[in-house]
Amino acid sequence: MTVRERSTDMVTLPAGTFTMGSDRFYPEEGPPHPVTVDAFRIDLRPVTVARFREFVTETGYVTVAERAPDPADYPGADPALLVPGSLVFRPTRGPVDTRDVRNWWHWVPGATWSAPEGPSSSIAGRHRHPVTHIAYEDASAYAEWAGKSLPTEAEWEYAARGGLDGATYAWGEEFMPGGRVMANTWHGMFPYENRRPHGFTGTSPVGSFPANAFGLYDVCGNVWEWTSDFHAAHPAATHACCAPHNPRVTSPATDEAIPRRVIKGGSHLCAPNYCLRYRPAARQGEAVDTSTSHIGFRCVVR
């Protein structure tokens, strides 16, 4: 299949070996271990609203958020909630229990990629923003249409590190070098106080912050990004003798009713007091049927 974007929309990364993971932050990121990946091409930026609209216009694709959930998949669920919709972030008025995400995540009927806050909202003025309210199935469908694939977790992390092996951030060790804001993240006490030194509330146009050394934008902050790997402990870390070659997790956990895939990079909602995950090593498992106002994706060609 022909790749639909211009070659200038992607960068070719050479094969290489890097240290994947970290032991300095959250337990699921470790242990650090060497991994080798083959050469591949990757999108310079997350897929934008404009590009996703082209896909929908050409194919008539209907996203998961635009379909009514099957009651058989959600036994015991309130029938009133089994309608098309998605999860939308709403800041709280003050401090809340951060162990309960229901304090800021709200199921909004009618929230979709083209109506990010619900039926009364639109994508006007946001065509250069990363597309959101994208479930894993939606990202995969776009990638197939574009003649691409979703990256593995190893490919994504290798690209995000930009050759800075072991560094905390995609640009080095200091969060704001020289006082410069390097990514769209939450500044202040989540989920109620965002000082916004970068001037953005919510997502920002792709490429608004400096690229990493490989030329990739928004690998930290803005939106989480889907990878193709199912969520599990780092499988490559068990290969003590050598660096695993192109590792990937192709089977879901057996104890999950709804499989989870790895998302990477953190988002504009990540804050030090709650979710310090705007780092290449950070990882999180996300249910494949879930779409939210802070998850997007980018693609690769192998």
Write the burial class of residue 94 (CB in 10 Å: 0-12 exposed, 13-18 middle, 19+ buried).
exposed
Q: What is the pLDDT along the chain (302 residues), one digit of tens a residue?
A: 567 666 679 999 999 999 999 999 999 999 999 999 999 999 999 999 999 999 999 999 999 999 999 888 888 888 888 999 999 999 999 999 999 999 999 999 999 999 999 999 999 999 999 999 999 999 999 999 999 999 999 999 999 999 999 999 999 999 999 999 999 999 999 999 999 999 999 999 999 999 999 999 999 999 999 999 999 987 655 555 678 999 999 999 888 889 999 999 999 999 999 999 999 999 999 999 999 999 999 999 99
- Cα–Cα distance for residue pair 180/197, rounded to 1 Å: 10
Our measurement of the distance from residue 112's CA atom to the centroid of its chain's CA atoms, rounded to an integer in Å, reads: 17
Helix H, strand E, coil C: the string for the chain is CCCCCCHHHEEEECCEEEEECCCCCCHHHCCCEEEEECCEEEECCCCEHHHHHHHHHHHCCCCHHHCCCCHHHCCCCCHHHCCCEEEEECCCCCCCCCCCHHHCEEEEECCECCECCCCCCCCCCCCCCECCCCCHHHHHHHHHHCCCECCCHHHHHHHHHCCCCCCCECCECCCCHHHCCCCECCCCCCCCCCCCCCCCCCCCCCCCCCCCCCCCCCCCECCEEEEEEECCCCHHHHCCCCCCECCCCCCCCCCCCCCEEEEECCCCCCCCCCCCCCCCCCEEEEECCCCECCEECCCEEC
Nearest partner of 173 among 22, 11, 44, judged by Cα: 22
What does the block give as tokens for 170? 């995609």
Matching residue, tokens 């932050």? 25
pLDDT score recorded for residue 207? 97
pLDDT at residue 253, as a whole number: 87
C-alpha–C-alpha distance, residues 244 and 246, integer Å: 6
Query: Domains plus CATH for the chain?
Result: 7-47+135-301 (3.90.1580.10)
Question: Strand 224-230 relative to strand 105-109: parallel, antiparallel, unpaired?
Answer: unpaired
So what's the pLDDT on residue 235? Answer: 63
Beta carbons of 118 and 88 less than 8 angstroms apart = yes
Contact between residue 33 and residue 233 where contact means Cβ atoms under 8 Å apart? no
- The 10s digit of each residue's pLDDT in 236-269 is 555 556 789 999 999 998 888 899 999 999 999 9
- What is the C-alpha to C-alpha distance for residues 64 and 137, in angstroms, rounded to an integer? 7
What residue type is assigned to position 2 of the chain? Answer: T
